[in-house]
Structure 1
Amino acid sequence: MSDVRDRVIETFSEEHYQTRDNLLELSDAIDEGDLDRAEELVHEVNGDAGPHFQYEEDSLYPALIPFFGEEKVKELVAEHDEAIEAARTLAELTAQDELTEEEKQEALRAIPDIMVHVSDCEGLIVYLEKADDEVFEDIQESIDEAHEQGLTLTEYDDNVRPSPEEIVA
């Protein structure tokens, strides 16, 4: 494998594992009523997921069209929609001084909406590995640009996120 291919795959996977760990810790913090820690973790996930979603939608998802077709890639984008909504819910809830039992359960139900994206997306590596080196160079460029911009997930969604049609174009 080429160096750029290895870097892309390593970055992609490391970000998924970091998000998984943060979400598991977030679940524990919410369950224990530690909203200060929960809010910190939501902020971290929001910050990490912004560039990740950005480069996925900019270059990785379009590269998957030959493997899955446009409709399946649009489904992946719809998973992003669910994860973004869950992140917004978690940010709103964890910013409070305390949660009712109902709010606590709402927060705990939101976490799997992000977690399912992490697990499903990680599996895409199996297909992505079959792409040409040029695809990996494009993805690496997109990774670098997204990390340089450093938009949070909500900033990305609110300000620069393309429509599903633009992603598969």
Structure 2
Amino acid sequence: HHNLSLPDKMNLSLIEPLREFYKDEVREIGTLLKIPKTALDRHPFPGPGLGVRVLGEVTKEKLDILREVYFIFIDELKKNNFYDKTWQALAAIFPVKAVGVKGDARDYSFIVALRAVNSVDGMTADWTKFPDSFLEKVSSRILNEVNGVARVLYDISQKPPATIEFE
């Protein structure tokens, strides 16, 4: 319902047979068509791609960092049996840096945000309440395994007034 169309300059026609359906309705149709559960239960991903999760200028460096952060978040969700209990999970990278410490030196690196929500149709959503120990584990892994990250935030905004994605 809210994904962007193709840019006019592409001069292509877009065929979207399920455009008028909400995500929960598409999943119901998929179940009737016997689509594998692994495909049906995947978290929604923005039509315009990962770039909408990079706030500010989109660069290869930011995309590389974001992919690593997102992989760790999803990996921990699956390891801790939270993935299938969460409607959508994502990571975003901010266009600002913060001071951190790596080894014995100060490190000036990016701030990333994690967001997980529960919803039925995506029109409203509540943030997912994970145990503190889970968030601590994810944050620790990101800070120790991903170069270029100094801070990990967890977004607790509801939709509305916020949106699920940052852009």
- TM-score greater than 0.5 by the shorter chain: no
Q: Would you tell me which structure has more helix in proportion to its own residues?
A: 1
Q: Would you tell me which structure has more strand in proportion to its own residues?
A: 2
Whose Rg is larger?
2
